[in-house]
């Protein structure tokens, strides 16, 4: 009979550590009750051979078709992993759920208000593995979005609901979560969409290379074995780099593990900017979308509208600069960088750079000053008109 835990303590107290150590050396290996987990099957080398001879004589269309079909066009194919990253409270989980609704309904993702210019999806089942929300919150978010998105079609609500298989792994340890992937895997079909939210629950420190690599390899095997498209939601820190790949913590491992990286940045006017780095798609590098509170759907925003809004904000900012300097002055006042800097709350050098921006807009002009004197700037007729309108100085 093998000694119980309390027997070991008793032996240690009564007979000493040497006796207990000798018993441990002589003990038979412990076998757990029930079936043991078999080791993974070792595949022969031939299973890894890539044969190119079959591609001889193919047309360009046939070559294009060698890649797996898309789950979401321009974003995700069968057997691939998409890493969707953003800062906290940027609606990234809602965005992932929105993609799920689009796939479940077979509708374009991120279509505009007219239902156009979205990204085609292949209708399929959706599997959600939520690692941070409890079941009540998951049901609330799902019902809220479904009810608003498909408000006029109870039948479509029922069909979409039937297409979802959702799991809440909130509160489980990493060692308990990963084995669940194997259980879910048996229910996933090729072409399905799987959403894992959120990666930090599996790897709290995104810069721990070895644990992160092991976890992402597990997710990649899941995608490869099921031939589903997998979206992994991730947090990342603020960064100013324009490349989506460089915005993720532990970037090299995540770059190598995901076929597509989508880095979300929040912009003014409740706008989301999706910076896309896709390995197997070409042509789309950036998409803008806005959350529509009425339909609980993310709508694509045309680039022209984004550019016009940006230009309007910049113009309003420049107008404010002019008013701050000339609102208490006569309109023919010649301002220096030091004068303007005190009004704007910035350095003299910064004020000089700002005057140059205003000059490029045609609002101010530099006047000649004697050598050794500070540069001076005056309003142009266009700039004076802006100040008059802003201060209601027209008769």
**pLDDT one-digit tens code per residue, 89-105:** 889 999 999 999 999 99
Q: What whole-number percentage of the chain has pLDDT above 90?
A: 62
In the prediction, which pLDDT does 33 show?
43
Residue 333 has pLDDT above 50, yes or no: yes
Do 138 and 99 lie in one domain? The reply is yes
Does 251 map to a domain?
A: yes
Query: Based on the structure, what is the number of domains in the chain?
Result: 2
In the prediction, which pLDDT does 204 show?
67
Indicate the range of 4-8, 19-23, 89-93, 342-346 predicted with least confidence. Answer: 4-8
Confidence of residue 142 (pLDDT cuts 50, 70, 90): very high
- Confidence (pTM): 0.79
Do 197 and 345 lie in one domain? The reply is no
Do 323 and 245 lie in one domain? The reply is no
SS3 238: coil
Q: Taking all residues of the chain, what is their mean pLDDT, rounded to a whole number?
A: 87
Do 168 and 150 lie in one domain? The reply is yes
CA 310 to chain centre: 23
In the prediction, which pLDDT does 377 show?
94
Question: What is the extent of the structural domain holding 138?
Answer: 67-301
Residue 256 has pLDDT above 50, yes or no: yes
Q: Report the CATH number at residue 280.
A: 3.40.50.300
Q: What is the mean pLDDT of residues 182-198?
A: 96
In the prediction, which pLDDT does 6 show?
46
Q: Which strands make up the sheet holding 376-379, listed edge to edge? A: 335-336, 376-379, 364-367
Sign of the dihedral defined by the CA atoms of residues 201, 205, 211, 215, in that order: positive
In the prediction, which pLDDT does 37 show?
43
Do 172 and 259 lie in one domain? The reply is yes
Do you find a cis peptide bond into 198, omega within 30 degrees of 0?
yes
Does 45 map to a domain?
A: no
Do 203 and 104 lie in one domain? The reply is yes
Instruction: Report the distance separating Cα 142 and Cα 127, nearest Å.
Output: 13
Q: What is the mean pLDDT of residues 45-59?
A: 94
Do 256 and 120 lie in one domain? The reply is yes
Confidence of residue 239 (pLDDT cuts 50, 70, 90): low
State which of 301, 327, 356 marks the end of a domain: 301
Q: What is the mean pLDDT of residues 49-61?
A: 95
State which of 301, 335, 363 marks the end of a domain: 301
Does 137 map to a domain?
A: yes
Does 192 map to a domain?
A: yes
Q: Report the CATH number at residue 334.
A: 1.10.10.10
Q: Which residue has the higher pLDDT, 241 or 272?
A: 272
Do 197 and 79 lie in one domain? The reply is yes
Do 147 and 119 lie in one domain? The reply is yes
Residue 262 has pLDDT above 70, yes or no: yes
State which of 252, 281, 301 marks the end of a domain: 301
Q: What is the mean pLDDT of residues 275-293?
A: 90
Do 185 and 224 lie in one domain? The reply is yes
Q: Which residue has the higher pLDDT, 371 or 235?
A: 235
* pLDDT tens column, 122-133: 999 999 999 999
Neighbour-count burial for 248-271, b at 16+ CB within 10 Å, e otherwise = bbbbebbbebbbbbbbbbeeeeeb
């Amino acid at each position: 009979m093998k000694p119980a835990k309390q027997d070991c303590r008793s032996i240690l107290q009564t007979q000493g550590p040497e006796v207990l150590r000798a018993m441990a050396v002589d003990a038979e290996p412990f076998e757990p009750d029930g079936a043991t987990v078999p080791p993974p099957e070792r595949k022969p080398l031939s299973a890894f051979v890539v044969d190119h001879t079959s591609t001889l004589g193919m047309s360009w269309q046939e070559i294009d078709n060698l890649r797996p079909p898309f789950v979401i066009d321009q974003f995700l194919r069968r057997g691939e992993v998409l890493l969707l990253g953003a800062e906290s409270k940027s609606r990234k989980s809602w965005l992932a759920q929105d993609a799920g609704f689009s796939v479940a309904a077979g509708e374009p993702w991120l279509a505009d208000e007219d239902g156009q210019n979205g990204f085609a999806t292949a209708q399929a089942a959706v599997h959600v593995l939520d690692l941070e929300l409890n079941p009540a919150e998951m049901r609330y978010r799902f019902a809220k979005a479904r009810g608003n998105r498909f408000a006029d079609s109870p039948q479509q609500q029922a069909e979409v609901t039937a297409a979802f298989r959702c799991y809440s792994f909130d509160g489980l340890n990493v060692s308990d979560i990963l084995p669940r992937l194997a259980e879910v895997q048996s229910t996933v079909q090729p072409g399905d969409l799987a959403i894992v939210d959120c990666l930090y629950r599996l790897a709290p420190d995104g810069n721990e290379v070895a644990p992160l690599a092991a976890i992402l390899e597990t997710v990649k095997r899941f995608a490869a074995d099921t031939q589903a498209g997998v979206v992994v939601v991730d947090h990342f820190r603020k960064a100013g780099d324009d490349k989506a790949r460089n915005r993720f913590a532990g970037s090299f491992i995540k770059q190598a593990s995901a076929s597509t990286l989508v880095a979300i940045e929040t912009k003014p006017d409740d706008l989301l900017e999706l910076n896309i780095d896709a390995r197997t798609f070409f042509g789309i590098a950036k998409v803008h979308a806005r959350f529509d509170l009425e339909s609980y759907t993310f709508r694509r925003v045309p680039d022209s509208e984004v550019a016009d809004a940006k230009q309007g904000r910049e113009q309003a900012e420049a107008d404010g600069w002019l008013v701050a300097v000339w609102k208490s002055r006569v309109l023919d006042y010649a301002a220096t960088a030091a004068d303007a800097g005190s009004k704007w709350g910035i350095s003299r050098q910064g004020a000089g750079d700002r005057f140059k921006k205003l000059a490029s807009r045609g609002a101010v002009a530099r006047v000649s000053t004697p050598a050794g004197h500070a540069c001076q700037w005056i309003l142009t007729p266009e700039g004076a008109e802006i100040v008059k309108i802003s201060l209601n100085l027209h008769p």
